[in-house]
Amino acid sequence: MACLTLPKTALIRKPDEYRRIYAQGRRVRGDNFALVYLLTPAAGGARLGISISGVRSAVRRNRIKRIIREFFRLRRPGLNPALELVFTVRKGFQP
């Protein structure tokens, strides 16, 4: 049976990595969220970063992060392994 967890290596964690993706990446905007993505030569698999601003409640903030991570975990095998994706949530986002 395949491992169904999301490894720590699949997450973007360092501020320098976020800065690089924001500076060099392409953006897709929605009403209350935006996706910033960058294709890199690294072949370790698709990676995810989450940025939430304007959501004051820790309970809502953590729920949004859990939903986004689960969505990414289930679709990661079908994504381009060179993809680095930052999901940015703004005030008013409803999960």
Q: Which of 70, 58, 59 is nearest to 10 (CA)?
A: 70
Reference 83, options 49, 51, 50, 37; nearest CA is 37
Distance CA 29, CA 59 (A): 25
Give the pLDDT mean for 57-84: 93
User: What mean pLDDT do residues 77-82 have?
Assistant: 91
pLDDT digits (tens, 9 = 90+) for 14-68: 999 999 999 999 999 988 899 999 999 876 889 999 999 888 899 999 999 999 9
Domain residue extents for the chain: 10-89
For domain 10-89, the CATH architecture is 2-Layer Sandwich (3.30)
